[in-house]
Amino acid sequence: MNNSTVTHAKIKRTVIELVQGDITEQDVDAIVNAANNTLLGGGGVDGAIHRAAGPGLVAATKKLGGCATGDAKISGGYNLKARHVIHAVGPMYRVGDPNSPKLLASTYRRSLEVAAQNEVKTIAFAAISTGVYRYPLGESAKIALQTVCDFVSAKNSIKLVRFVLFTEEALAEFQGALDTMTRERDDLNYA
Ligand code: ADP
């Protein structure tokens, strides 16, 4: 499955891209996996990434010693086109819990920090926590885009941030959140 429906926006020197596609096929420096605390693989996008990367990936993540919710750790990409996988652990969504948005923002921020520390210039995110962890897509999109925009506007090292949305619905929700954010932020514009 190739990427389809691409939207570009620009903030400072960073391009923000929305595509509908499969994250395992992305030709970027790092892809961000929606992992669980064990980092040993699971269902959803995590399972797809482990299958595509091959057994080298789980051998590597075994050595990482798990990961706290809201944090991220990096490994090699093995059989993937991407040189690195950033394993990010988003929160399970709980209605009305103020920790859910804080933890989701932290997950995106820590992924970007780990990327910047490892000279990653191009990065692709899955929609963290929006599957089995049930985070509402629209709310997650707002947090994801806001956290990425705040990070790249303060620190210019990452050139491309691509959100790889698996479904038409996810793409539409991210598109709606990006529309709103381009109206709210002077530094973010459609390219
Ligand atoms: P979580 O446990 O963090 O909710 P999931 O893997 O269940 O993680 O889902 C996260 C998101 O990843 C969902 O929006 C799901 O549709 C999406 N997804 C599943 N497979 C892929 C894939 N191959 N590429 C990109 N996104 C995917």
Domain span including residue 12: 5-190
**CB neighbour class for 137 (10 Å; exposed up to 12, middle 13-18, buried from 19):** buried
State the DSSP code for 119. T
- End-to-end Cα, the chain, rounded Å: 25
Pocket flag, ligand 1, residue 93 (CB < 6 Å): no
Instruction: Answer whether residue 1 shows pLDDT above 80.
Output: no
Whether the model clears a pTM of 0.95, i.e. scores above it, the answer is yes
Contact 186, 150 (CB under 8 A): no
Q: Which atom of ligand 1 is nearest to the CA of 135?
A: 4
Summarised one tens digit per residue, pLDDT across range 51-105 is 999 999 999 999 999 999 999 999 999 999 999 999 999 999 999 999 999 999 9
**The one catalytic residue among 27, 46, 71, 97:** 46
**CB neighbour class for 130 (10 Å; exposed up to 12, middle 13-18, buried from 19):** buried
Pocket flag, ligand 1, residue 90 (CB < 6 Å): yes
Q: Which atom of ligand 1 is nearest to the CA of 170?
A: 14
Q: How many domains does the chain have?
A: 1
Pocket flag, ligand 1, residue 131 (CB < 6 Å): yes
CATH of the domain at 12: 3.40.220.10
Summarised one tens digit per residue, pLDDT across range 28-60 is 999 999 999 999 999 999 999 999 999 999 999
186 is catalytic: no
Residue of 17, 104, 166 to mutate, ligand 1, most atoms within 8 A of C-beta: 166
Pocket flag, ligand 1, residue 103 (CB < 6 Å): no
Contact 162, 17 (CB under 8 A): yes
Pocket flag, ligand 1, residue 3 (CB < 6 Å): no
Summarised one tens digit per residue, pLDDT across range 128-176 is 999 999 999 999 999 999 999 999 999 878 999 999 999 999 999 999 9
